[in-house]
């Protein structure tokens, strides 16, 4: 199987490309750079911007599958109007350009990125693939992101992978979460009661590969561990793994003052369960938080 990957230079994309190439798949990486660094054997690059139609779409048409992970980072500082536009357009326009090709020719499978931000802040409510979307900015982005993939379903199987907080050794949320603890200043945010739905990078890649290879995976697929935790439980687990105190809270108002609207990425309570993945027999390598943190922070 020749797999076309967008967003291949991001945290998840890099890990997925390594996994696919290591399994003997031919991987075609879409990159804004002509020769991106770090491509493993078995992967080659084609230059282009997924948000702009171009010659790269001919390369896509020559592949059997596509994983579309393109999107500007969400958690890099405060959201200006320009930043919010980039967050939305980098996802929606890229997906439209991918889906326009697949609707007519080429890949028979599209695995499209999405996020649990689709649900919006939901308190203690248990959420899964059947739950209704929320109404805040990230929920609207995720809804439009998924809708942009719909034309591909005219002739291809489409999976929409709704990803939670990805924990990884390098990059992503974990280094930033761990830093205050390393400085003996860690603890929960506010009362720490809000839910956080996380996933180890190994399982994120595992679920993306399941979505590629298992014909039963169609529509939304929650990419979260089966045991979401409250923020205070995450703080306690980080403290124990790093052998640091974990009782110094950060006031929620201080987070909102520092980050503005983007603070909702940090403070939204989302208790998401991977019911579809479990029903299809996916076995999580890291179902519980403490062992996952020990693996990543040791």
The verdict on pTM exceeding 0.85 is yes
pLDDT 10s digits, 110-122? 999 999 999 999 9
Calpha distance 140→154 (Å, rounded):
24
pLDDT 10s digits, 19-76? 999 999 999 999 998 788 889 999 999 999 999 999 999 999 999 999 999 999 998 8
Give the per-residue pLDDT at 298.
Answer: 87
Q: How far apart are the first and last CA of the chain?
A: 36
pLDDT 10s digits, 195-222? 999 999 999 999 999 999 999 999 999 9
Express as a percent the part of the chain with pLDDT over 90. 90
User: Does the pLDDT of residue 168 top 90, yes or no?
Assistant: yes
Q: What's the token pair of residue 197? A: 């739905």
Closest CA to 292 of 196, 213, 221: 196
Give the per-residue pLDDT at 36.
Answer: 85
Give the per-residue pLDDT at 231.
Answer: 97
Calpha distance 215→265 (Å, rounded):
32
Please answer whether residues 173 and 296 qualify as being in contact, where contact means their C-beta atoms are separated by less than 8 angstroms: no
């Amino acid at each position: 199987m020749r797999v076309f990957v967008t967003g291949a230079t991001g945290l998840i994309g890099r890990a997925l490309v390594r996994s696919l190439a290591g399994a003997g798949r031919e991987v075609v990486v879409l990159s804004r750079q002509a020769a991106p660094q770090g491509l493993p054997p078995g992967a080659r690059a084609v230059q282009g911007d997924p948000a702009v139609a171009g010659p790269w779409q001919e390369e896509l048409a020559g592949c059997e599958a596509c994983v579309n992970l393109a999107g500007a980072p969400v958690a890099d500082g405060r959201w200006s109007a320009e930043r919010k536009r980039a967050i939305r357009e980098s996802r929606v326009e890229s997906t439209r350009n991918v889906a326009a090709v697949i609707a007519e020719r080429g890949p028979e499978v599209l695995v499209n990125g999405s996020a649990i931000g689709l649900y919006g802040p939901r308190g203690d409510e248990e959420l899964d693939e059947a739950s209704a979307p929320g109404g805040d900015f990230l929920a609207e982005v995720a809804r439009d992101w998924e809708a942009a993939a719909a034309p591909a379903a005219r002739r291809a199987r489409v999976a929409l992978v709704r990803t939670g907080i990805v924990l990884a050794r390098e990059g992503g949320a974990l280094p930033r979460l761990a830093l205050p603890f390393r400085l003996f200043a860690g603890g929960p945010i506010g009362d720490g009661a809000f839910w956080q739905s996380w996933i180890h990078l190994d399982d994120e890649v595992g679920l993306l590969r399941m979505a590629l290879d298992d014909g039963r995976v169609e529509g939304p697929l929650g990419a979260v561990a089966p045991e979401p935790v409250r923020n205070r439980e995450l703080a306690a687990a980080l403290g124990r793994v790093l052998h640091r105190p974990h009782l110094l809270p950060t006031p929620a108002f201080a987070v909102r003052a520092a980050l503005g609207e983007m603070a909702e990425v940090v403070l939204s309570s989302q208790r998401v369960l991977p019911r579809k993945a479990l029903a299809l027999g996916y076995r999580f390598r890291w179902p519980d938080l403490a062992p996952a943190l020990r693996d990543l922070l040791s």
